[in-house]
Amino acid sequence: MNSLNSYDMKIVCVTGCLGFIPSYFVEKCLKRGWMVYGIDKITYAANERFLETLEKYQNFKFVNADIKDIKSICDCDYIVNFAAESHVGNSIINSEEFINTNIVGTKNLLDLVRFKPVNCGTRPVFIQISTDEVYGDILDGHHSEDDLLHPSNPYSAAKAAADMLVLAWSRTYNLDYLIVRPTNNYGIRQYPEKLIPLAVKNLLRGRKISLHNNGTPIRNWLHADDTAEAVLTLIDNDVVNEIYNVSGDFEQSNADTVRKIIHAFYGTGEDWQKYVDYSYVREGQDLRYCIADSKIRKLGWSPKKEFDKEIESIVQYYKNNFIW
């Protein structure tokens, strides 16, 4: 790992900075001594308490704004667009905010880069944080960066649309970009609508954990710290105009994930099945996501966190520090 002083000074604008994954990325940038401008409209899923931590850094400036409404962006080297509505279940119930933020918001940011005044120097590189879900499911094998996109639900469709806007703006207006497609992220500071913190919340309240489609869907798990490192690897290698998959090297069924959560909560001897409700069926359910990420590994990145070694401490974190 490079020392702090070995990193070239960068100015980074991070949207959705109070979200789960970007909180890891922003903190890493600040510890490198980079200047970070954070934008967040502070939705229900934003971690406002984490803002107190970020504002202790002199190299951090916060802007409370919606990316679809902002009229200008700061002079910077990179815009990293983490801002997104990301819960699949919510998108199935009402997709409007997913369209507004994930598509219209991304388009607005791209136009702000496009019209950046020439006296501000070079345009920033636009880094779009996407998802493996844009490819749709795959029962065998894996998806590569060259595969066609087949999103299965409103969330992944909105993210796929945003990716297409980035590619179109690059070709039409000569914008430099990166598209990063990570797999299912886990870690601390995640809002309790996603599987791990939601499961802990239900266990704390004596409620059963709902598993859709009998817990059979398979997900590839990637720690948010490794996702943040992947984005930094791309910046450090000074690559542009490419798409990179980022995978966690680990996949398992949702039922196996919940079993490990329950055992981390109660102990391995507990009958985990009695805490699970299998009656929920989700429309448009993808069966399995899997992506190949040899492209980014050639740049020196690989995941450092192992799910089975991390899950107990993460469950204990949510158990002991739950924010209601």
Catalytic residue numbers, as ranges: 132-133, 155
Q: What is the rounded CA–CA span in Å between residue 136 and residue 252?
A: 17
Q: Which residues pair with 218 in a beta bridge?
A: 253, 288
Long-range CB pairs of 51-59, under 8 A, 24+ apart, other chains included: 51/18, 53/27, 54/17, 54/26, 54/27, 54/30, 57/30, 59/30, 59/33, 59/34, 59/35
Q: What is the rounded CA–CA span in Å between residue 126 and residue 80?
A: 6
User: Residue type for 177, please?
Assistant: Y
Q: CA nearest 17: which of 67, 89, 58, 56?
A: 67
Question: 10 Å Cβ neighbour count for 236?
Answer: 17
* Residues 4 and 31 sit within 8 Å (Cβ to Cβ): yes
Using a 10 angstrom Cβ sphere, with 0-12 exposed, 13-18 middle and 19 or more buried, the burial of residue 43 is: middle
